[in-house]
Structure 1
Amino acid sequence: MAHRLVTNAADARALVPLIDDVRAHLGRKPRELSGDAGFANEANLAALQVRGITGYLAPGRARHGEADAAGRRRLTKMPLMSAMAVRLKRAGRRSRYRLRKQVVEPVFGQIKQARSFRQFLLRGLDQVRGEWAMICTAHNLLKLANAGR
C-alpha cells in the first residue's frame, strides 16, 4: 500500500506521510494501523487521533517476559503514550499489535530469502528509493499472482 525509505534510524517522522500515501493509493484512510516502537510518540498518536485511525504502536521496547508494553520506559508525562500502553496491555495475547509480527515482519525475510535481495545495487538516496519501490512492487505482484492459483 505504501513504502518509505529514510536515512534516519528514528523513523517516527515517516508515519504521517505513510498514512497519507495509503490514503492516496486506496482512496480512503485506514481504519487501523500497527507499527513498531520507532513510530510511537505523542505527535504520531495525536495525528492518528485527528484522522480517526485506531493505532497500535508499542510505546516502548518490552523484553521477552515483560508484561508491560512500554518496557522500562516511564510515560508519566505522555498521556497518549500511557493510554496506548494500557490498550496493548489490556488486550494481552489477543492484541491487534501482536498480529504485526505475523503480517509485516515476514515480508522482510521473504524479500531477503525468496527474492535473494541482500544489498542495493544503485547509489544515491533517490536511486535507492526507486530500487526499493521496484522491489516492493515486484514482491506484491508475485504474491498476488501466486494467490490467484
Structure 2
Amino acid sequence: MPGRARHGRAGDTGARRIAPGSRMAAMDAKLRRAGPRSRYRLRKQVVEPVFGQIKAARGFRQFLLRGYAKVRHEWALVCTVHNLAKLLIARTA
C-alpha cells in the first residue's frame, strides 16, 4: 500500500504528468508563482481548536436564543467570555 506523499514531492507511483496548456498546468504555474504566503498555503491553518475549547471548557454546545440577530449576539458574548478568560490566564501566568 503506497504511503502519502509530502507536499511538492512525487508519490510512490511517480510524478504526475500534466498536459501543457491545460487548466491543471495553469493552476500548477499559479501555485508555484504565489510563493510561501499564498492563499492556498494559508488555508492549511487550523482554527478548530478555538471551537473545541469553547465547546469543552465553556460548555457551550447549543444556542439558547432563536433568530439570527439573537444568535449573533449570543455568539459574540461567548467569544468575549472566551477571550477575557484567555487574557486573565495570560495575566496571572
State the TM-score, normalized to the length of structure 2.
0.57
Equivalent residues, number = 70
Instruction: Return the letter of the residue paired with 1:131.
Output: E
2:39 corresponds to 1:114: no
TM-superposition CA deviations, 1:25-70 (whole Å, max 9, x none):
xxxxxxxxxxxxxxxxxxxxxxxxxxxxxxxxxxxxxxxx3647xx
CA distance in 1, matches of 2:77, 2:59: 14
Q: Which runs of 5+ in 2 are unaligned?
A: 9-21
Higher relative contact order (CA 8 A, sep 6+): 1
> How far did 1:76 drift?
2.6
Choose from 71, 81, 88 the match for 1:138: 81
Q: Which runs of 5+ in 1 are unaligned?
A: 1-64, 69-74
Cross-structure match for 1:76: 23
CA distance in 2, matches of 1:97, 1:141: 27
The 5 A counterparts of 1:35-46 are: none
More strand by share: 1
Indicate the RMSD between aligned Cα atoms, in angstroms.
3.4
Runs of 4+ in 1 over 4 A off after TM superposition: 95-98
> How far did 1:97 drift?
5.2
* Secondary structure of residue in 2 paired with 1:116: coil
Identity %: 46
